[in-house]
Amino acid sequence: MADDIDIPEDTRRSRLPKPHAQVMDEEFVTAAERFAAFREAHPNGYVGSKIYDTIKHPDGNVTYVMIGFAYRERPKGVPVAEGADADAWAQGSTNSESPVIAGSPLESADTIARSRALRNLGILDSATKVAKVSAPQTDEQIGADVATARTRAGLSQRELATGMFDRGFQWSQATVSQVEKGTRPLRFNEGQHLAELIRFRT
C-alpha cells in the first residue's frame, strides 16, 4: 500500500496571457461605455445584430456567428446590416476557453459584434482619441460654427452652396446665408457633408 504524500500547493502565477483576455478586456469591459457614448453622440441612432450562422460541431459544441451593425440615424422600416454605417462580426462557442463566452456563447457573440460595430463607427475607438464635444444648443450657434468653418476653408457662400449642390442637396447661396444666420436649421445629413467639405465640427 502506497503512503500518502503531501504535495504543496503551487501558488506561482503563469506568465502566459490568459486565453481571450484581450477580447474580454476590449469588448466586455467597454461595451456598456461604448453603447452609452453612442447614445449620447447619436440619440436617434440604432444598434442591432443578427445570427449569421450556427455551426454544430461533431463533438456536440455549438458556435454562433453574429453580425452587429450600427446606424447614426435609425432607418425607416426594419434595420438590417446592409446599408448600415458600420458593421462587424463576432463568434461565441460553447467550447471557448473563456468561461464567460462558453457559458453564454450567443449573448457573448451578440455583445461583441455590436460593440465592435460601434468601434468601427469610431465610438471609443482605442486607436483614435474621441473628444467629447458639446454641441451648440441653438441654430444661431450652429450657423456661426458653419460660417467660421467656411471662412477657415477659404470658400465663399456661393462656392459652399455649389459643393453641397454637387452632393445632391438643393442648396443655393441664400441657403448658406440662412443656415449661417440660424434662420434655417441644419439637418444631420447635411452636417456630415459639411464635415467633409469644410471640416465643420472637426
Distance CA 155, CA 152 (A): 8
Structural domains in the chain, sorted by start: 21-120 (no CATH), 139-198 (1.10.260.40)
Query: What stretch of H or E contains 143?
Result: helix 139-153
pTM over 0.95: no
The 10s digit of each residue's pLDDT in 95-144 is 988 888 889 999 989 998 998 999 888 887 754 444 444 444 688 888 99
pLDDT at 147: 92
| 3-state secondary structure (DSSP) of residue 155 | coil
Distance CA 5, CA 17 (A): 32
The stretches in the chain having pLDDT less than 50 are 1, 7, 10-29, 127-136, 202
Cα radius of gyration (the chain): 25
CA nearest neighbour of 118 among 179, 170, 48: 48
Q: What is the pLDDT at residue 77?
A: 83
Question: Is residue 134 within a helix (H) or strand (E), and if so which, with residue range?
Answer: none
Q: Which pLDDT score, from 0 to 100, does residue 62 have?
A: 93
